[in-house]
Amino acid sequence: MAQFENTLYRFTDKKSSYKGIQQVKETINVNDIGKNEVLLKIKAVALNYRDFAIAAGSYPVGIKDNLIPGSDATAEIIQVGSAVSDLEVGDRVITNFDPENLYGQSKNLKTALGAAVDGVLSQYKVVPSYAVNKLPKDSHLTDEEAACLVCTGVTSWNALYGTADKFIAGQTVLMLGTGGVSITSLILAKAAGAVTIITSSSDEKLKYVKEKWGVDHTINYNTNPDWEQQVLDLTHGEGVDFVIENGGSGTIMKSMAATKVGGQVASIGFLGHTKEMPDIMSLVLLRSIRLRGIAVGSKQLAEELIRFVHAKKLRMPVEQTFGFSTDQVYEAYAKIESQTHIGKLVIKVD
Ligand SMILES: NC(=O)c1ccc[n+]([C@@H]2O[C@H](COP(=O)([O-])OP(=O)(O)OC[C@H]3O[C@@H](n4cnc5c(N)ncnc54)[C@H](OP(=O)(O)O)[C@@H]3O)[C@@H](O)[C@H]2O)c1
């Protein structure tokens, strides 16, 4: 079988909507696979808010023409180049969000999958061997769960462990909202001994998160607009050690007001973006807060995360799985747009 047909999705139509994504068929020639490359059979693709923002034209990084969307895949290796020594046919792997970010602090995201370079919403993909992270042979994770490690998993891990001043057991972690980043951070922080607090727009979502994922404290930010005060009350007036900040300019002041003197705020999301940035410098200075921008993370962080999740046999928060047809792909994007989900949405690839 020197060549075969690959079904995949591309933005063939610039409608500033996920409806600009169309299914196409292209040929893969296995003789073209380089000696340092591997051929992946993709099994599952986890979606992120980023994928919706890219489709809607609101993502703050340049997007390639005719893009293959998606960054987070679980795959099986079905062919290896002649010089590849650390991977073999049959290995289960996950993609690295930014294949060029191997070690250390953040890179500029220009080489991250599914934005400025082609992504993974495809049956097959050829990548350099260093662009994937191997799962343990006896991994307990389903393909759908493992795909969730790539972006939201590594982002959460980076927020807690990506600097010298790492999370330690007994500290308090605040998560904003009940999406992928928040629920994954909750799972990781709880397993490592954190006291956890989560906010949401909905009591129903909070009830579910308490029952399913065992969060310690919940706050509805719609019915409690002064939610930062509730966080202070829950922490005896001190504030939390870590904030998983998903709202951006819309929530940063309250997040910082809810942070302990000397605590850390991981600036991750832009869900509550406002045009006018509040004056946060007084809080940074007066409360010695460390405000840290996060851009997912490196292959090294992904390897640490895989090891921790495997050792603790943690489950990843897949709320719903969709098929690979165009209708199902649109349904998955529509569900992200509705913001009714809790945790992660995943497309299963045939
Ligand atoms: N910097 C990075 O490395 C990085 C990595 C991953 C994601 N992100 C960004 O982080 C954010 C979250 O990503 P995600 O994939 O977890 O999104 P998601 O799964 O779509 O989750 C979004 C959830 O956040 C909550 N939310 C919405 N607006 C909010 C607001 N103004 N304040 C507080 N909560 C709000 C809602 O939950 P409730 O209804 O429960 O409130 C919503 O369902 C996005 O902006 C994404 O682009 C950044």
Query: pLDDT tens, 242-256?
Result: 999 999 999 999 999
Query: E strands of 69-216, at which residues?
Result: 72-80, 92-95, 124-128, 132-134, 172-176, 195-200
The predicted structure's pLDDT at residue 273:
78
268 lines ligand 1 (CB under 6 A): yes
Q: 3-class SS at 344? A: strand
Give the distance (Å) from ligand 1 centre to CA of residue 246: 5
The predicted structure's pLDDT at residue 274:
83
The predicted structure's pLDDT at residue 2:
84
| Nearest one of 175, 198, 215, 184 to 309, comparing CA atoms | 184
Residues 6+ apart with CB under 8 A from 271: 49, 177, 179, 246, 247, 248, 250
Q: How far apart are CA 39 and CA 155, in angstroms?
A: 26
Q: Residue 203: pLDDT above 90?
A: yes
Q: Residue 109: pLDDT above 90?
A: no
The predicted structure's pLDDT at residue 61:
85
Residue 243 near residue 266 (C-beta atoms within 8 A): yes
Nearest Cα residue to atom 9 of ligand 1: 269
Neighbours of 270 (CB within 10 A): 19
The predicted structure's pLDDT at residue 283:
86
- Burial status of residue 3 (CB atoms within 10 A of its CB: 0-12, 13-18, 19 or more): exposed
Q: How far apart are CA 246 and CA 255, in angstroms?
A: 10
Q: Residue 15: pLDDT above 80?
A: no
Q: How far apart are CA 226 and CA 241, in angstroms?
A: 19
Buried b or exposed e, range 166-191, using 16+ CB within 10 angstroms:
ebeeebbbbbbbbbbbbbbbbbbbbe
Given the CA of residue 344, which atom of ligand 1 is nearest to it? 19
153 lines ligand 1 (CB under 6 A): no
The predicted structure's pLDDT at residue 125:
97
Q: Residue 53: pLDDT above 90?
A: yes
In the chain, % of residues over pLDDT 90: 88
Give the distance (Å) from ligand 1 centre to CA of residue 268: 9
Give the distance (Å) from ligand 1 centre to CA of residue 160: 17
CA angle 304, 306, 310 (to 5 degrees): 120
Write down all domains in the chain, each with its CATH number in brackets. 3-148+316-348 (3.90.180.10), 154-293 (3.40.50.720)
Give the distance (Å) from ligand 1 centre to CA of residue 17: 19
176 lines ligand 1 (CB under 6 A): yes
- Kindly state the tokens that stand for 46: 């986890």
250 lines ligand 1 (CB under 6 A): yes
pLDDT band of residue 30 (cuts 50, 70, 90) is confident
Q: How far apart are CA 350 and CA 346, in angstroms?
A: 13
Q: Under the phi-then-psi rule, with left for phi > 0, alpha for psi from -120 to 50, and beta for the rest, what region is 43?
A: alpha
Nearest Cα residue to atom 18 of ligand 1: 179
Identify which has the larger pLDDT, 107 or 122. Answer: 122
Give 62's Cβ-side CA count (13 Å radius): 7
Nearest Cα residue to atom 1 of ligand 1: 268
CA angle 93, 96, 102 (to 5 degrees): 120
Neighbours of 232 (CB within 10 A): 18
The predicted structure's pLDDT at residue 179:
96
Q: How far apart are CA 138 and CA 310, in angstroms?
A: 9
Give the distance (Å) from ligand 1 centre to CA of residue 340: 12
297 lines ligand 1 (CB under 6 A): no
Neighbours of 288 (CB within 10 A): 12
In the chain, % of residues over pLDDT 70: 99
Ligand 1 site-directed mutation target among 149, 294, 339, most atoms within 8 Å of CB: 339
pLDDT band of residue 105 (cuts 50, 70, 90) is confident
Q: Encode pLDDT of 205-261 as tens digits.
A: 999 999 999 999 999 999 999 999 999 999 999 999 999 999 999 999 999 999 999
Phi, psi at 76, each rounded to 5°: -110, 140
Nearest Cα residue to atom 13 of ligand 1: 49
234 lines ligand 1 (CB under 6 A): no
Q: Residue 275: pLDDT above 90?
A: no
Q: How far apart are CA 93 and CA 74, in angstroms?
A: 6
Q: Residue 244 to residues 6, 64, 68, 180: CA-CA distances in angstroms? A: 38, 29, 29, 12
